[in-house]
C-alpha cells in the first residue's frame, strides 16, 4: 500500500512548512549581553528564527518572533493579569504583524493552568482554524527538562523538544524535531511562550 502523503499544516504560513522532518537547534541568549531571547538555526546552521524577549522589548509578558532576516512574524502577549486573577487559566495570544509592525490577526491562543483547580490540566493551544473543538494541540512532558512534545488532538506528535548528546555540554542549547508538514514558525512561537512561563531566556 502506498505511503500516505504528509499533510501540510500552515498556521503562520505555508512557507514555514516542510515536506520532510526538520531538526532545529535553539540557542538561548544571555540577558546580560543580548537582553535575553533565543536564536533558532536549521541543519545547515543558518538562522531560521529569532525571538526577542521582554528584556529587549522592555514590556512584561510580551515577545516577538522574527524570521531569519529579522522581520517580525508574531507578536506574542499575555492577557491582562487583573482580568485573569480569578480565572483558572492564563491566556497567551499570538498575532501576526502588518507591514508597519502593528498587531494584525490572531493566529493562536495558548491556555496555561493558573490555579490548583487546573494544576493537573495540560497546556493547550487552539488555532484560528479550529472547528467545533476546544483545542488543537497540547503539551506533553515537562519543558524545563527539555523532554516534551507538542501533540495534536488525535495524539500525533507534531514536534519533539529534547537535548542531543552533542549538545548536552551546554545548558543553553537544545533541539526541536518537527514532523513533516508542520509549521515551524508556529512551533517556535509555542516554545517562546513555554520559555517565558518557566522563567528562562525570554523572561525579564
Which of these, 194, 65, 202, 179, lies nearest to 138 by C-alpha position? Answer: 194
pLDDT at 99 over 90: no
Encode pLDDT of 122-159 as tens digits. 899 999 755 556 899 999 999 999 999 999 999 999 99
pLDDT tens per residue across span 22-45: 999 999 887 655 667 899 999 999
Q: Is the dihedral of CA 102, 36, 142, 184 positive or negative?
A: positive
Cβ(30)–Cβ(202) under 8 Å?
A: no
Place of cell 492577557: 79
What pLDDT score does 200 carry? 74
- pLDDT bracket for residue 9 (50, 70, 90): confident
The pLDDT of residue 1 is: 36
Which residues have C-beta within 8 Å of that of residue 158, sequence separation ≥ 6?
9, 137, 149, 150, 151, 152, 178, 179, 182, 187
Residue appearing with cell numbers 494584525 = 104
How would you classify the pairing of strands 147-152 and 22-28? unpaired
pLDDT band at 8 (very low <50, low <70, confident <90, very high): confident
Between the CA of residue 119 and those of 88, 116, 123, 135, 150, what are the distances in Å?
9, 5, 10, 17, 18
pTM of the model: 0.88
Q: Across the chain, what does the average pLDDT equal? A: 83
Give the mean model confidence (pLDDT) for residues 43-69.
Answer: 87
Q: What is the CATH number of domain 18-198?
A: 2.40.160.200
Position 120 confidence tier, pLDDT thresholds 50, 70, 90: low
Amino acid at each position: 500500500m502506498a505511503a500516505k502523503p504528509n499533510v501540510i499544516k500552515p498556521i503562520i504560513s505555508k512557507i514555514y512548512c516542510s515536506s520532510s522532518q526538520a531538526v532545529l537547534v535553539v540557542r538561548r541568549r544571555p540577558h546580560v549581553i543580548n537582553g535575553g531571547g533565543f536564536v533558532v538555526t536549521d541543519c545547515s546552521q543558518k538562522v531560521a528564527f529569532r525571538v526577542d524577549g521582554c528584556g529587549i522589548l522592555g514590556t512584561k509578558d510580551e515577545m516577538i518572533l522574527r524570521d531569519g532576516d529579522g522581520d517580525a512574524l508574531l507578536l506574542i502577549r499575555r492577557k491582562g493579569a487583573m482580568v485573569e486573577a480569578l480565572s483558572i487559566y492564563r491566556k497567551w495570544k499570538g498575532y501576526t504583524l502588518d507591514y508597519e509592525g502593528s498587531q494584525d490577526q490572531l493566529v493562536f491562543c495558548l491556555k496555561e493552568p493558573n490555579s490548583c483547580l487546573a494544576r493537573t490540566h495540560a497546556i493547550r493551544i487552539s488555532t484560528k482554524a479550529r472547528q467545533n473543538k476546544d483545542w488543537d494541540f497540547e503539551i506533553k512532558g515537562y519543558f524545563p527538562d527539555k523532554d516534551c512534545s507538542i501533540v495534536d488532538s488525535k495524539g500525533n506528535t507534531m514536534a519533539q523538544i529534547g537535548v542531543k548528546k552533542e549538545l548536552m555540554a551546554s545548558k543553553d542549547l537544545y533541539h526541536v524535531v518537527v514532523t513533516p508538514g508542520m509549521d515551524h514558525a508556529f512551533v517556535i512561537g509555542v516554545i517562546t511562550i513555554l520559555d517565558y512561563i518557566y522563567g528562562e531566556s525570554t523572561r525579564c
